[in-house]
């Protein structure tokens, strides 16, 4: 294993996103992902460097991918390389952001009269078109079809996978006194055409409310602290990692 945070052996930079860089590896079917400290919100109109964010999100994601794998949910995750790097299967990302909402907040409450904090049962599945130049707009199923992003069978599989992930994560986090309010998933197909969970699962892509706090601001342990200028962003992410670590084994290493 590389020393903590050190850059592993990797090939060319293939893609740079807002929070991660993707590099070629020595295998065509795998890539190496570096989690960055860059934080963005509101389609990158707001930017900051948050020391240690890359490590926290990489370490939280690795444990959650392994937890989901143990429950039969396939992901692109292969193994950790160091504190901020992981090896993943190369996938073609479906340009959909799949959001599951268990509790109403965020854009749902800005765009509808549903009151903040309303429980949503069964969880609401919202689809967004992954395109920064368009501001990741909310889609309808008819628009997904019109754009030819996925066919009906694939859409059914995506929704099924997203709901299974929710069914694993909600009780997992509840046991850690964390309410999984909502989260965003990205999925992709590997070279064999298998549908895999991809990207990351972290406080950048989930909302967590701390059940140990009754204060509406103090309880926020996710990127909303950055979006809303609440401070203590990395302290909150660190608390999420601490609780996740308490329930998960050390992630496996990949050479
Ligand atoms: P929203 O309420 O702003 O639509 O966000 C829903 C969930 O998706 C929330 O957990 C945050 C996450 N999310 C992302 O991961 N990336 C994004 O670009 C946005 C807008 C939300």
Q: For the segment 56-71, what is each residue's pLDDT rounded down to a tens digit?
A: 999 999 999 999 999 9
Kindly report the protein residue whose alpha carbon is nearest to atom 18 of ligand 1.
43
Work out the number of other CB atoms within 10 angstroms of the CB of residue 170. 16
Q: Which of 38, 53, 99 to mutate to test the pocket of ligand 1 (most atoms within 8 A of CB)?
A: 99
| Tokens linked to 38 | 């860059």
pLDDT at 9: 80
Reported confidence tier of residue 4, pLDDT bands at 50, 70, 90: low
Contact 2, 85 (CB under 8 A): yes
Kindly report the protein residue whose alpha carbon is nearest to atom 15 of ligand 1.
205
Question: Dihedral (C-alpha) 225, 229, 235, 238: value to the nearest 10 degrees?
Answer: 40
Mean pLDDT of 30-36: 98
In this predicted structure, the answer to whether residue 6 has a pLDDT above a threshold of 70 is no
> What is the Cα–Cα distance from 240 to 225, expressed in whole angstroms?
13
> What is the Cα–Cα distance from 158 to 73, expressed in whole angstroms?
12
Beta strands 85-89 and 30-35, pairing class? antiparallel
Mean pLDDT of 223-243: 98
In this predicted structure, the answer to whether residue 160 has a pLDDT above a threshold of 80 is yes
In this predicted structure, the answer to whether residue 2 has a pLDDT above a threshold of 60 is no
In this predicted structure, the answer to whether residue 39 has a pLDDT above a threshold of 90 is yes
pLDDT at 8: 76
pLDDT at 199: 98
Contact 109, 116 (CB under 8 A): yes
> What is the Cα–Cα distance from 27 to 118, expressed in whole angstroms?
47
Is 254 touching ligand 1 by the criterion CB < 6 Å? Answer: no
Mean pLDDT of 184-207: 98
pTM of full prediction above 0.85: yes
pLDDT at 51: 98
Is 205 touching ligand 1 by the criterion CB < 6 Å? Answer: yes
In this predicted structure, the answer to whether residue 222 has a pLDDT above a threshold of 90 is yes
Is 17 touching ligand 1 by the criterion CB < 6 Å? Answer: no
Q: Which of 106, 108, 224 to mutate to test the pocket of ligand 1 (most atoms within 8 A of CB)?
A: 106
Domains identified in the chain and CATH numbers: 13-89 (3.30.200.20), 92-233 (3.30.470.20)
| Tokens linked to 215 | 């204060």
Tens digits of residue pLDDT in 104-143: 999 999 999 999 999 999 999 999 999 999 999 999 999 9
| Tokens linked to 90 | 């190369």
Q: What percent of the chain has pLDDT over 70?
A: 98
The strand pairing partners of 16, in sequence order, are: 21
In this predicted structure, the answer to whether residue 178 has a pLDDT above a threshold of 80 is yes
pLDDT at 48: 98
Burial category of 156 from C-beta neighbours within 10 Å (exposed 0-12, middle 13-18, buried 19 and up): exposed
In this predicted structure, the answer to whether residue 88 has a pLDDT above a threshold of 70 is yes
The candidate with the shortest Cα–Cα distance to 196, out of 225, 166, 221, 162, is 162
| Tokens linked to 195 | 């549908």
Mean pLDDT of 215-242: 98
Residue 109: half-sphere exposure toward Cβ, Cα within 13 Å: 14
């Amino acid at each position: 294993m590389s020393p903590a945070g050190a850059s592993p052996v990797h090939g060319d930079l293939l893609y740079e996103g807002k929070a991660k860089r993707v590099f070629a590896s020595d295998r065509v079917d795998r890539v190496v992902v570096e989690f960055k400290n860059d934080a963005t919100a509101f389609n990158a109109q707001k930017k900051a460097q948050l020391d240690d964010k890359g490590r926290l999100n990489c370490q939280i994601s690795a444990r959650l991918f392994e937890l989901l794998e143990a429950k039969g949910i396939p992901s692109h995750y292969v193994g950790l390389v160091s504190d901020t790097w992981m090896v993943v299967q190369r996938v073609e990302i479906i340009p959909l952001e799949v959001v599951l909402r268990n509790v109403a907040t965020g854009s749902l409450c800005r765009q509808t009269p549903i009151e903040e904090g309303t429980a949503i049962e069964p969880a609401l599945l919202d689809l967004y078109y992954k395109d920064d130049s368009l501001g990741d707009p909310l889609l309808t199923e008819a628009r997904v079809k019109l754009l030819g992003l996925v066919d009906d069978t694939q859409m059914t599989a995506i929704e099924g996978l997203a709901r299974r992930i929710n069914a694993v994560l909600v009780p997992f986090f509840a046991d850690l006194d964390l309410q999984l309010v909502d989260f965003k998933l990205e999925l992709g197909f590997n070279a064999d055409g298998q549908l895999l969970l991809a990207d990351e699962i972290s406080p950048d892509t989930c909302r967590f409310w701390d059940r140990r706090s009754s204060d509406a601001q103090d309880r926020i342990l996710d990127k909303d602290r950055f979006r809303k200028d609440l401070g203590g962003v990395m302290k909150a992410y660190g608390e999420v990692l601490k609780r996740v670590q308490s329930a998960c084994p050390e992630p496996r290493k990949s050479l």
